[in-house]
Amino acid sequence: MKPLHARYPFLQSAREAVEAADVDLVTVVREEEAVRTRALDRVETALDSGRVGAPHRRDRVELLSYPVARVLVSLIDEHVLTRKYARAEAATAHERFEAEFTETTELKSRDREQLSIRTLLAEFGMTEGVRETDDAYSVAVGTYLAYATEERGDEWRLVNRTLRDGEIELSESELLVLIRQAIRDRVDEGLPLSVPDAIASHLDAECEQIRERLADLDLTRDIDTVVPDLFPPCMTALLDQVQKGEHLEHHSRFAIATFLTTIGMTTDEIVELFQVNPGFGEEATRYQVDHIRGKTSPTEYSPPACSTMQSYGDCVNKDDLCEQISHPLAYYEAKLDDADEEEIIDWRERDETAQS
């Protein structure tokens, strides 16, 4: 196992090195505390700082901690964790190779195997879509879009790029951002893994620690609990209409979608919920929800206030609590506060129990 693999454990060659070394993951998680600890560190640091932390001094531990970290993430299987973890692995790798590329020749250690842009492009099948020019790179529009769409910021929007004959000129540092996204996709690929019990059973303590860390995270912005019984009457009415398959005006659809997004439902969950309604095409719903979420637009939308709901005729079945609040979210928060912990059964968890 080479230092290069420890630094960039997502590389195909790193995976092959692990396979060639005939490492048994069950034995590793059972017997190698250092690997378990470093794997936990990767995941926790991802949650705390969006990076995966300082490498372990032993290459073997560092390299093996990567597959174990992916196992941990799979065992928790929370969308927010998976996303943050993949992002953190990519961010750390990006910082490492960016530093390597800008080091002056004298500083480069002679015996360390270096990663080149060319190698990275080949790794992710991007060679064909990227052409080196005098002082920059010409990137095929398909390659650009496959990796740039997730980037925030107007400068990444295709409309603001000089697109000519199917190519876009990128600086080296911009190209490295695309590679960072390719790494993110690679880390994310296949997650959650299905983890055999023989492995899972040795990671209970680590999983517990991550769950606690997740629970501690300040999620004040999200209410993140979906309990329809506590929804304000306006949202209950809209949800009812959606599920009966009735046609909803754009403003009504916007209201219910932003509300569900804000309380923590994922796009997939909302799409699934809306799918019973033939009036909502899956792609269109997905696009709208992603847009509201701020994924495809610079703005994250919040649900309309009571006054807006009233002017659109979406304010119905007002009750006593409605008189005291001015925003549907405030209604829901107040209800959540009032309810006993035990009474709150997240809809999604309830569904899972019903299915299993």
- Residues in binding site for [4Fe-4S] cluster: 234, 306, 315, 322
Instruction: Give me the least distance between CB of 256 and another protein, in Å please.
Output: 20
**Site size with another protein, rule: CB under 8 A:** 32
Least distance in angstroms from the C-beta of 141 to another protein: 6
Q: What character string, x for contact with another protein (CB under 8 A) and - otherwise, covers 99-138?
A: ------------------------------x---------
Q: Does 268 bind another protein (CB under 8 A)?
A: no
Q: Could you please report the per-residue DSSP string of 282-303?
A: HHHHHHHHHHHHTSSSS----P
In the block, tokens 């899956």 appear at 282
Q: Is 250 exposed, middle or buried (0-12, 13-18, 19+ CB in 10 A)?
A: exposed
Q: What are phi and psi of 17, to 5 degrees?
A: -65, -40
Beta carbons of 177 and 170 less than 8 angstroms apart: no
Taking CB under 8 A as the binding criterion, the range among 114-122, 197-205, 275-283, 333-341 that sits at the site for another protein is: 275-283
Token pair 């590679």 is found at 179
Is 279 one of the binding residues for another protein (CB under 8 A)?
no
Among 71, 93, 146, 329, binds another protein (CB under 8 A): 146
Near another protein by CB under 8 A: residue from 159, 215, 216, 337: 159
Distance, in Å, from the CA atom of 323 to the CA atom of 331, rounded to the nearest integer, reads 10
**Smaller CB distance to another protein: residue 160 or 311?**
160
Measured CA to CA in angstroms, residue 153 lies from 24, 148, 225, 295 at distances of 44, 10, 30, 11
Residue ranges in 282-341 that form contacts with another protein under rule CB under 8 A = 282-284, 286-287, 290, 295-296
Please identify, using beta-carbon distances, which residue of 155 and 222 lies nearer to another protein: 155
Query: Quick check: 247 binds another protein (CB under 8 A)?
Result: no
Contact between 149 and another protein by CB under 8 A: the answer reads yes
Q: Closest approach of Cβ 149 to another protein, in Å? A: 5
For every residue of 259-283, DSSP letters joined together read: HHHHTT--HHHHHHHHTT-TTS-HH
Q: x/- string (CB under 8 A) for another protein, residues 164-203?
A: xxxx------------------------------------
Rounded to the nearest whole angstrom, what is the least distance from the CB of residue 301 to another protein in the complex?
A: 16
Ranges of H-type helices in the chain: 3-7, 12-20, 25-31, 33-49, 59-76, 79-102, 117-123, 141-148, 172-188, 197-200, 204-216, 233-244, 250-262, 267-274, 282-293, 306-311, 320-324, 328-338, 347-355
Judged by beta carbon, residue 48 or residue 268, the one nearer another protein is: 268
Q: Could you say whether residue 55 binds another protein (CB under 8 A)?
A: no
Q: Which residues contact 303 (CB under 8 A, 6 or more apart)?
A: 255, 258, 259, 262, 327, 328, 329
Interface residues with another protein (CB under 8 A) are 129, 140-143, 145-146, 148-150, 154-155, 157-167, 281-284, 286-287, 290, 295-296
